[in-house]
Amino acid sequence: MIHEMRTYDLKPRTVDIMGDRLREMLDGRLEYSPLGGFWYTEMGPLNQIVHIWPYEDANHRADVRSRAVEDGAWPPNSTDIMVNMNSEVLIPAPFMPPLEPRKVGPIYELRIYTYGVGDIPKVLDAWSDAIEERQKYSPLVGCWYSEIGNLNRFMHMWAYESFEERSRIRAETREKGIWPPPGNTASPVAQENKILLPYDFSPLQ
């Protein structure tokens, strides 16, 4: 299983316009493969949308995208509002829950860490030991490491009911020594995060 994370930078004040265009065509696109989730940024880099698509493998991805484009089912025309596009193929971490429809937000935080060469296996080991306890505080939506695109990247997405809950949980888990994983011997060389809100048509709400 692979997941493709696509990030689009849009012109200011066009996030809702893009949402309308996506909504009109999404049912047709879903005939080819399921959608993981669709969000827009609330904090961090603004005017971005982030969407995740699961595929069986690279061949499945190529086949689905080719047929959807050829049949005119996807994507919606966005050349007038699109500034930049980025795609990364990600491998789900062994402990990642299934990417399936559920209501766990509406606040989603996507954290993106870049590690040194060879450090990702160390991170996965440390997370495997600590993730069960951390999920008692808030649900893990997804956790991946990059396969194609920007390499040595480790991404994790968490859901919260509110900004206040996010702040409280992050403070509490740090204070109790639960999180970050205490056994992690690798330190990121760069970190970034985005606060995302789901479009109303996203399977994850």
The secondary structure of the chain as a DSSP string is -EEEEEEEEE-TT-HHHHHHHHHHHHHHHTTTS---EEEEEEESSSSEEEEEEEESSHHHHHHHHHHHHHTT-SPPP-TTTEEEEEEEEEEE-TTPPP---B---SEEEEEEEE--TT-HHHHHHHHHHHHHHHTTTS-EEEEEEEEESSSSEEEEEEEES-HHHHHHHHHHHHHTT-SS-TT-----SEEEEEEEEE-TT-SB-
pLDDT at 183 (0 to 100): 83
For the whole model, what pTM was predicted? 0.96
Find tokens 């061949």 and name the residue: 59
Q: Please give the average per-residue pLDDT across 66-76, as a whole number.
A: 97
As a three-state string, the secondary structure of 57-77 is CHHHHHHHHHHHHHCCCCCCC
Does the domain at 2-198 match CATH 1.10.10.10? Answer given as: no
168-188 CB burial, b ≥16 within 10 A, e <16:
ebbeebeeeebbbbeebebeb
Q: Please give the average per-residue pLDDT across 162-187, as a whole number.
A: 95
> Could you give the percent of the chain with pLDDT greater than 70?
100
pLDDT tens digits along 132-158: 999 999 999 999 999 999 999 999 999
pLDDT band at 196 (very low <50, low <70, confident <90, very high): very high
User: Over 90: is that where the pLDDT of 185 sits?
Assistant: no
State how far the Cα of 61 lies from the Cα of 39, in Å rounded to an integer. Answer: 21
User: Over 90: is that where the pLDDT of 115 sits?
Assistant: yes
pLDDT at 48 (0 to 100): 98
The answer to whether 28 touches 73, Cβ cutoff 8 Å, is: yes
Tokens representing 189 are 């060389």
Average pLDDT across the chain, whole number: 97
Domain ranges of the chain: 2-198
pLDDT at 184 (0 to 100): 84
pLDDT tens digits along 5-34: 999 999 999 999 999 999 999 999 999 999
Q: Please give the average per-residue pLDDT across 83-93, as a whole number.
A: 97
Tokens representing 185 are 């011997």
